[in-house]
Structures are given as C-alpha cells and as structure tokens.
Amino acid sequence: MSFFSQLIGTGSAFPEKVMTNADFESFVETSDEWIRTRTGIHTRHIADIRKGESTSSLAIAAAKKALEMAKLSGKDLDLIVVGTVTPDSVMPTTGNLLQAALGAERAFSFDLQAACSGFLYGLSIADQFIRTGAVQTALVIGAETLSTLINWQDRGTCVLFGDGAGAAILTRTSDPEHSILGTRLYSDGTKGDILKIPHGGAKVPHYLPEYRHKDHSIHMQGSEVFKLAVRNMIDASMAVLADHHLTPEDVDFFLFHQANVRILEMCMKTLKVPREKTWINLDRYGNTSAATLPVCLDEAWRQGAIKTGDRVLMATFGGGVTWASGLIRL
C-alpha cells in the first residue's frame, strides 16, 4: 500500500506590535515612499521579547490554530519539524518547546535551518516520513523573530523583515490525488556570502575579541539576492511542475516567498500568473522568512482563495543560499 500526505490544517500568528514605515524615518535615512515603492512593504509585526513573545510563543499559537482546524490535539502528532533561524535557544529546540506546550507526548521533534526555505524543507521532510509509513501525522512550522537579528542602523535590511509564524498539519492518506504531489529542494553554499549572519555562531561566538554585535545580524547583497531569488524560484517552480508533466496553466494558485513585491511581479510575469491566482501579504507583514509560505497558505485557505481540489504551487528562496518549490493538491 502506498502512503501520501494530506494537508488538513493550517494556522498563523503574529506579535501584537505593528511597526510602520514611518516609524523608521526617525532613526535611519529612509522614507515611507521609498519602502513602499521599492519593496511593497507598509507594515510589519515586531515581537516584544521582554513581554514573552518569541519564536516558540508564535509557533505554539500558530500550531494550536492548525490543530483546531484539523480537529486534532497535540497527542495525535508523531513528528514536529520547525524551520527557523531564530530558535528561542539552541537547546532545547523550538520543536521540543512545542512538543511540551502541545502535550505531543509521542512526537519526535527537531528544528531545521534553511532560512526562508525552512517551511518547504520541513514540508518535504515530513512528507518523506509519512510516505515511508514511519509517521502518521506531522506538524510543520515556519517561525521567526528576525527582528532579533536586525542591524537597526542598516537601512538596506532593517525595513524588510518582520516576525511571525505559520503552521501546517499533514496526515497519512492513501489518496495520491489530494496530497503533497512533490517538492524540490536546492542549496548553493558557494553563494552563501550574499545573504548571511557572520557572527554569533560557534565560529565567532560573542566572547571572542573579534565578535562584533553588528555582524551578528543580517548581511545582504540586495540586488544579487533579488536576481537569484527571481531566477531560482522560477526554475524550481518549473522543475516541480515538469516532474508531474504539468505547466503553470495547470496550477490553480501560486504562493511565492514574500520578500519584495517586485520579485513577486517578475515571477508572476514569467510564469504568466494573473494577480487573482496569487496571495500577497508582504504589505502587512514584510519578509517573515520561513513563516511567509505557511502564513500565505493559511490566509488563502481560510479566506476561500484556495479550496479542495485546487493545485497550489509554492516557491521560495532564502539565505545561505537555499531555495525550494512544492506542489500540493488540496
């Protein structure tokens, strides 16, 4: 008997505090006009760490909503995968914090680091475990508090990112039609320098004299990332479609990583995606890294933009660099 993974629930969560473009004007040389026209971002949510908001608190809130939609409880989970580059701590993992908070006694859990591709990497891994029969039900999360890794003096990056979390529940099905049809995952470490966080890991820990706090933050060569993101998301989209002998015309809805509205427009133009067949929310949330795709999925599903039977294509690009695509039939 063959097994497949069916998507049965999604959820998302954001910190309370909203930061507008105008808020940045008081401490970096920027303007609401520049940020809106060059990125498409209007506002983003920023976690208040001192009030207990963190990657795990957002992930837990998103997971609870996804479990509720799936009509399951934590006890039903066999696997928890969290895509994040901003875990609350290295140990315990965010996955383990979730496991405890959700009472997911029988689940094994882990975090994975693939930057903005974390959710699709997690979805693909969970799908493999379900297909082998090792796991029945999995929780896949993309959750970030990138605001903790921002250099607030760097106008080229500080305006771009926001905090948030998205969750998805997959469960075993024997129906290949309504399932995760396929995923494609890619990495290219030779281009790691174009989007990186150089200090703060085990190579340059905080107690070494060469440690610089401003290097424990996001460093990005914006235009290089921009070009590669467009090209690789298009290529990855075409690759996963080709695996299934499909073309963009066969897709009902497209979800692209939310980094810059101009990147989305270029992907849409090349793949001939009309505006009504995609979800854009980066105006409200900015780039929430691994959280963008599950949040889009959650919003599009709950608001009826996607429905049972639809083929949904997702594509992403992230630091380090990583990129991925995934094709689901709801």
Residues labelled catalytic: 116, 257, 287
Nearest distance from C-beta of residue 85 to ligand UT7, angstroms: 11
Stretch touching ligand UT7 by CB under 6 A, among 97-105, 167-175, 217-225, 240-248 = 217-225
User: 184 in the Ramachandran plot: left (φ > 0), alpha (ψ -120 to 50) or beta?
Assistant: beta
Size of the site for ligand UT7 (CB under 6 A): 21
Stretch touching ligand UT7 by CB under 6 A, among 44-52, 266-274, 300-308, 314-322 = 314-322
Nearer to ligand UT7, 32 or 252 (CB): 32
Q: Which parts of the chain fold into alpha helices (H)? A: 21-24, 32-39, 55-70, 94-102, 118-132, 155-158, 222-243, 261-271, 282-285, 292-302
Residue 229 binds ligand UT7, judged by CB under 6 A:
yes
Nearer to ligand UT7, 139 or 314 (CB): 314
Nearest residue to ligand UT7 on Cβ basis: 222
User: Cα separation of 182 and 73, whole Å?
Assistant: 27
Angle between helices 292-302 and 118-132 (to 10 degrees): 70
Nearest distance from C-beta of residue 209 to ligand UT7, angstroms: 30
Nearest distance from C-beta of residue 61 to ligand UT7, angstroms: 23
Q: Using H for helix, E for strand and C for coil, what is the string for 238-287?
A: HHHHHHCCCCHHHCCEEEECCCCHHHHHHHHHHHCCCHHHECCCHHHHCE
Stretch touching ligand UT7 by CB under 6 A, among 145-153, 155-163, 206-214, 248-256 = 155-163
User: Cα separation of 287 and 260, whole Å?
Assistant: 8
In sequence order, what are the beta bridge partners of 7?
A: 170
How many angstroms from the chain centroid is the CA of residue 203? 26
Residue 226 binds ligand UT7, judged by CB under 6 A:
yes
User: Cα separation of 252 and 204, whole Å?
Assistant: 46
Residue 322 binds ligand UT7, judged by CB under 6 A:
no
Nearer to ligand UT7, 155 or 212 (CB): 155
Question: For ligand UT7, which residue of 223, 274, 276, 308 counts as binding (CB under 6 A)?
Answer: 223
- In the shown chain, the binding pattern of residues 37 to 56 toward ligand UT7, with x for contact by CB under 6 A and - for none, equals -xx-----------------
Question: Position 248: which residue type?
Answer: P
Q: Name every residue whose Cβ is closer than 8 Å to that of residue 110 and which is 6 or more positions away in sequence.
A: 80, 81, 82, 93, 95
- In the shown chain, the binding pattern of residues 86 to 125 toward ligand UT7, with x for contact by CB under 6 A and - for none, equals ------------------------------x---------
Cβ atoms of 78 and 3 closer than 8 Å: no
Q: Which parts of 81-193 fold into alpha helices (H)? A: 94-102, 118-132, 155-158
- In the shown chain, the binding pattern of residues 284 to 313 toward ligand UT7, with x for contact by CB under 6 A and - for none, equals ---x--------------------------
User: Cα separation of 63 and 191, whole Å?
Assistant: 33
Q: Which residues bind ligand UT7 (CB under 6 A)?
A: 30, 34-35, 38-39, 116, 155-156, 159, 222-223, 225-226, 229, 259-260, 263, 287, 317-319
